Structure 1
Amino acid sequence: MQKLVEKKIWRRAKYICLELLELLKRYYFVLIGLFFLHRALHIAPYSSISLTSKIYLFMLALICFTVYKDIRHDVKLIPFLLICTVFFLFIFYINKHGYGFWGKMLRWQIKKDIIVNLNPIFSSIPFNDGSFARVYKSETLTWFFRMVYNNGFVLPVLLALYRSALIMDLKKMLRYTLSAHVLQIFLITPFYLTFHLQEVWYVLGQPDGLARHLSSKAAAGITLNCFPSMHTSICFAMFLLALRERNKIFKFIFGFFCLSVIYSTLYLEIHWVIDIIAGMILAYVTVKLSDFILDKTKILFEKPLNIFYYKNRKPIYVNNYYLYTMKN
């Protein structure tokens, strides 16, 4: 009798554990979102912590609560976590060393003879300085646009990648990454090596919109590489891909953030209007190029992914009757 009772207790405990595990598998994003929300609320009262860090944590919490309908349930957890770990190690390596590489390229670029100087050309084009974006200015707007601009080169990509990882969608992770710095750095470098164009405020002799307090020598180097605007190309590429997402809340808030970064480049007198247009064209081309690359490489990775990555997915082969009869 005692053994029977123990067996029932064991079965009940096992059932409860399995149910809890199933709930965790289905709603893990809620726990992660609550963690970020708790951290954001915890640091909110401390003035010593930057507002950027606080907003960043709130945005991480937000994207966690928008993933439910997009979660992939056909993916094996362990293989995904292994691939995801390697993937983010690569991303963090780029994030850590990318600026150093960019600085070396700038120093090398300054030593070279630039083929085309666009400063006098762009400054002579009517409305190209984006003055219409500064018809109304205020301290609050200036603070807001400085914040989004300073975080608009990397943060939109990281937020999109974090959300794609939460929904366990490796293809989206690759698409966001390729459409951002990975492909754009190769496409945009020839323009930067060919055209000399500096920021609007520097060319027009206005105060620095970002209030960086640069020396004349530092300003001459920092304000290079405006055509096309890479802030624009990165954010507009993320915006185009975000439009493909199903969650309306994520699309609206993330899209607003991306477009705010683009607008900030005009408001703060960083980029010319033509820079913005060129950056948007570059973003569109990059997104289409990433689509093309992923589509063409799909066949190469389909078989190993079906075996090790996806759950119970077997390749289906359909005979084409017409092709078969033509061969015979």
Structure 2
Amino acid sequence: MELAIILLVFLIAFRKDLLELRSFSLQNEQDKFILKLGLGLLGLALLVAGTDRFVQMLEIKYHPEILFLNDWLRSLPYNDLSVYFGYNSRILLRIIRAVYHYGFFVPCIFLIIRAVARRDLRSLSLLIFSTFAFHYAVHFPFYFFTEGHQIWYVKGIMVPLFRTISPLDHVFPSMHASMSVTSMLLAWRQPNMATRILYSIFCPLVIFSTFYLQIHWTIDAIAGASIGVAAVKFAEYATAQGWLYLIIARLNQTWALLRRPASKELSSRG
């Protein structure tokens, strides 16, 4: 139910952009190229998610952590904002749970769909270089070599909010915060005012949800937000340098080599 409502809100905000899909044609080479880029970006997101599961297996087996942050996180002043919130409203809690759960990927996916629908190659380039792969590459060393847990876990608070009980739920820095900031900054570049307003409200609410649900510490969100800004700056540089075209050209060359038939001399051996 909550996901349906969130999707409806985003569909309304993006309705003008999505209508452009009606003129999409697989017979048009440019449309096919844009579609491949969009699907490739979604595939990259799935690859990153799969890599994350593999890394967690390595953590369980080898215990690579060299820094343990729980005591430091707990000692910082104003690092636990959940002490200022009340938890008497079940409706509010349900809303915030949904925002946290779906807020990680829904904003980014709609930006991808919008870029494809508008045939906006620059926006796709910014998304490719600023989202999933960049964030995981930056977060990975922290998640692999440090151990820092969620607020409720460190404080031993067993309020039934939205969370999982796992020693692998690292918190520093917050990827929810970094992805939200990146999505918001990219949305601010869109000409659609409804999109800009929606992301200006929804993305900060995602970060707030991590505090309310006793998941992230203040320092987690600050570090994550910094990564989110850096991601957009990196994407701007990569896009201006034309890295997307270079990568596509290199992939096409590799694909052509793989498809090249073996010479008669090689095939006759053995």
If the length of structure 2 is used for normalisation, what is the TM-score? 0.80
- Partner residue of 1:101 out of 44, 51, 66: 51
Name the counterpart of 1:164: 115
Query: Using the alignment, how far apart are the partners of 1:126 and 1:210 within structure 2?
Result: 24
Query: Using the alignment, how far apart are the partners of 2:228 and 2:203 within structure 1?
Result: 12
Name the counterpart of 1:221: 167
SS of residue paired to 2:80 = coil
Name the counterpart of 1:252: 197
Name the counterpart of 2:73: 122
Displacement, 1:54? 4.1
Letter aligned with residue 221 of structure 1: P
SS of residue paired to 2:215 = coil
Cα 1:170–1:202 change in 2 (3 A) is same
Matched, 1:180 2:131: yes
1:91-130 deviations in whole A, cap 9, x for unaligned?
A: 3433445433211111212332311100011111122011
Name the counterpart of 1:241: 186
Query: Using the alignment, how far apart are the partners of 1:63 and 1:133 within structure 2?
Result: 35
Counting aligned pairs with the same residue, the percent is 27
- Partner residue of 2:32 out of 62, 82, 89: 82
Displacement, 1:81? 1.4
Of structures 1 and 2, the larger Rg is shown by: 1
Displacement, 1:236? 0.6
Letter aligned with residue 167 of structure 1: R
SS of residue paired to 1:290 = helix
Q: Is the 8 A contact 1:64 1:163 kept in 2?
A: no
1:306-326 deviations in whole A, cap 9, x for unaligned?
A: xxxxxxxxxxxxxxxxxxxxx
Letter aligned with residue 231 of structure 2: T
Q: Is the 8 A contact 1:239 1:255 kept in 2?
A: yes
SS of residue paired to 1:237 = helix
1:48-79 deviations in whole A, cap 9, x for unaligned?
A: xx3313431442243023679x99xxxxx923
Query: Using the alignment, how far apart are the partners of 1:248 and 1:63 within structure 2?
Result: 10
Q: Is the 8 A contact 1:200 1:272 kept in 2?
A: yes
Tell me which of the two structures has the higher relative contact order, counting C-alpha pairs closer than 8 angstroms and 6 or more residues apart: 2
Letter aligned with residue 104 of structure 1: F
If the length of structure 1 is used for normalisation, what is the TM-score? 0.67
1:1-38 deviations in whole A, cap 9, x for unaligned?
A: xxxxxxxxxxxxxxxxxxxxxxxxxxxxxxxxxxxxxx
Query: Using the alignment, how far apart are the partners of 2:245 and 2:68 within structure 1?
Result: 45
- Partner residue of 2:106 out of 155, 162, 175: 155
Displacement, 1:163? 1.5
Displacement, 1:209? 5.5
Query: Using the alignment, how far apart are the partners of 2:5 and 2:219 within structure 1?
Result: 34
Q: Is the 8 A contact 1:209 1:268 kept in 2?
A: no
Q: Is the 8 A contact 1:188 1:228 kept in 2?
A: yes
Unaligned runs of 5+ in 1: 1-49, 72-76, 305-328
SS of residue paired to 1:232 = helix
Q: Is the 8 A contact 2:162 2:213 kept in 1?
A: no
SS of residue paired to 2:189 = coil
Q: What aligned pairs does 1:21-32 form with structure 2 within 5 A after superposition?
A: none
Unaligned runs of 5+ in 2: 22-26, 250-270
SS of residue paired to 1:287 = helix
Query: Using the alignment, how far apart are the partners of 1:245 and 1:129 within structure 2?
Result: 34
Name the counterpart of 1:274: 219
Displacement, 1:285? 0.8
RMSD: 2.8
**Larger deviation, residues 228-237 vs 252-261:** 252-261
Matched, 1:265 2:210: yes
**Larger deviation, residues 263-272 vs 95-104:** 95-104
Displacement, 1:172? 0.3
**Larger deviation, residues 235-244 vs 225-234:** 235-244
Cα 1:177–1:208 change in 2 (3 A) is farther
